[in-house]
Amino acid sequence: MRRIGVIFAAYLAEINVYTYQQPTWPAFTWQHERLEPLLGAVRHQQGRVLGHMEGLGFSLQAEALLQTLTLEALKSSEIEGELLPNEQVRSSLARRLGIDVAGLVPAERRVEGVVDMLLDATQGFAQPLTAERLGAWQAALFPTGRSGLQRIQVGAWRTGAKGPMQVVSGALGREQVHFEAPEAAHVAAEMTQFLTWFNTDTPLDAVLKAGIAHLWFVTIHPFEDGNGRVARALTELQLARADASAQRFYSLSAQMRLERNAYYAHLEAAQKGALDITAWLAWFVACLSRALQATEQTLAQVLTKARFWEQHATFAFNARQQRLLNQLLDGFEGKLTSSKWATIAKCSQDTATRDIQALLDQAILVKEAAGGRSTSYRLAETRER
């Protein structure tokens, strides 16, 4: 009995060791027979999505690209608990991509930084991934050199000056350590090995490579902050390589946000114990499959917007009306009232009322059932969509 207990204790110790502490790290392994059918299915989905998008006109492709990249930027940040203004992200992306959309607004520096990183990753997917490039991405996320109120090191690997790099949850005094990254002294060598692998062409399936790269990077955790967002950006870069296209029509981060708990749980499990990462890769590919399925909603939204603006092409909208109508078409949160219109459009209540009344007269907006002080408005096309 004592012998069994010793073996069991040794087993527990083994499964709790981090993967990077294994003697054969980073020689990941996986079960090909389990992943092959999943990869075949997701490759078929990728082909269908790209085929559908190529069948659209240039303007609709541009709108789909804008919608997808906006979603990717918003949801990747949201996974980390940072909420970016939708309208600012969309406007920044439209300006950078040269897409003519109505109602552009200025963007904060933090928004511009997220957009900088995402566009460099997706539009420059064919360029080598370097330490300098990754450092620039991470620095762009923290334009003030601070994460919240805390000053952090940006644009360079972590130094360890603040102690071990840990992923922790729970209230103060009852923290739970989910993961502790390699010592800072090892980061430079770890990243050199990672970047050499990432930039080397191998027979490895490009989607699998995206999943491995994501796990490998967050396990090294090379930066003081921003590792998750940078990991998802380099994953987008690799998926663009998999599609051989800078045109992004599906958002993996949006799906990961929906499955946030499972995302973190699978990462944590894959970072402990043996180097067999089959379970992580199976989840990653399945999550990508669900992201591709969700693209149908993006396409439907793009087509709805196109039909709307085509239907009302003869009406002379002012910039405020264009801006608010686009927000309604993108999925306005809550009820649109005249006071909200005035706040968003930065105009007086009287101007907002005139803007709305003009749209009511053209049957573009309709009043919701409730009236009086709580009067709200929706698109007349809502019921038909």
Look up 186 and say whether it is catalytic: no
Exposure string (b/e) for 155-173, b if CB count within 10 Å is 16 or more?
bebbeeeeeebebeeeeee
- Binding site feature residues: 225-232, 263-264
Q: Are 355 and 341 in contact (CB under 8 A)?
A: yes
**Residues in contact with 168: Cβ distance below 8 Å, sequence separation at least 6, in sequence order:** 175, 176, 177, 178
Rounded to 5 degrees, what angle do the CA atoms 133, 137, 141 make? 165
The catalytic residue among 178, 186, 221, 266 is 221
How far lies 74's CA from each of 95, 114, 143, in Å?
17, 9, 17
CA distance linking residue 267 with residue 8, whole number of Å:
25
- Binding site feature residues for ATP: 225-232, 263-264
| DSSP H helix total and E strand total for the chain | 15, 6
Q: Are 103 and 323 in contact (CB under 8 A)?
A: yes
Report H helices in 156-226: 184-199, 206-220
Question: Which residues are marked as active site?
Answer: 221
